[in-house]
Structure 1
């Protein structure tokens, strides 16, 4: 199975890692699809604004919603997430060499979000790299039947996995 994931303990670290890796792949000329996340801290708040960019050069969408300063619940805007899923699905028509998804999160663990898209990519033999947090790791393991490869949270580890996964001719130096 060409499915890999990374886990980090530091808030926002997975997003930064996957964003940098996506940029590296794109700079090499590798056809990449998917979604990366940027978090913008809000002064005086315990949360941040969450924006995602559809790869390779698609729109930036705000997937978080403002619930007020005292709110503690889930701030994910599910409607915008589903819009992002549709945007990424459209990019798959060009058959990318790699799909990078910022997160296998709660929505995916529950059966929604990018779950079907990940399955479709794997069925088409398109490698997928995603981020997983500890809370959603059991759902991810159930989804992947334990066959996904956990990678060290470094660009070098992601790059090594990608090079081993792709045909030599498809891997750009």
Structure 2
């Protein structure tokens, strides 16, 4: 299988990196599916909203919910997440080369979210690249059954890995 994950120090860094990867692959004519995160500017009294872009050129979906000032719980909106999963699933009916996921997070580690779509993409022979964090890296590796490669959070490293597993 052609499956990789990457981690960055700052959450925003990973979002920008995977969005740039999607743009560069698409510029090469690589058909992408999945999501990348594009956060909206924040007000000073609460955290940034979390928006995802459906690849390659689909809708932006807000997957966060505002829980109020001082809230500490998970801001993920489960209905919006389900909508994003359904939208990406529909987009996967046509041919594609790579599946990108902004974050293999708690939802996926628990068997939900984009987990089934990652498995479907990998089983179809598509290249899979996901972002994650140190808390979920072991879960991702377990999910990939030891076949995942950790790639440095660097655009050149990601493109080199992609090229190595997809020789021309």
CA positional deviation for 1:53: 0.7
Give 1:127's aligned residue. 127
Take 1:122 and 1:26, find their aligned partners in 2: how far apart are those partners? 19
Tell me how large the CA RMSD over aligned residues is. Answer: 1.2
Is contact 1:41-1:47 (8 Å) kept? no
In 1, the alpha carbon distance for the partners of 2:97 and 2:11 equals 28
> Offset of 1:46 from its aligned partner?
5.2
SS state at 1:47 partner: coil
* Structure 2 unaligned spans of 5+: none
Report how far residue 41 of structure 1 moved.
3.9
Which residue pairs with 2:27 in the alignment? 27
Question: Does residue 1:116 correspond to 2:116, yes or no?
Answer: yes
Q: Which moved more, 1:84-93 or 1:68-77?
A: 84-93
Question: How many residue pairs are counted as aligned between the two chains?
Answer: 168
- Higher deviation after alignment, 56-65 or 93-102: 93-102
Give the alignment's TM-score, normalised by structure 2.
0.95
Moved more, 158-167 or 15-24: 158-167
Distance 2:137 2:126 in 1: 22
Q: Which residue of 2 aligns with 1:148?
A: 148
Cα deviation per residue 1:127-167 (whole Å; 9 max; x = unaligned)? 11010111212221221123200001111111111111124
TM-score of the pair, normalised by structure 1 = 0.92
Show structure 1 runs of 5+ residues with no match: 169-173
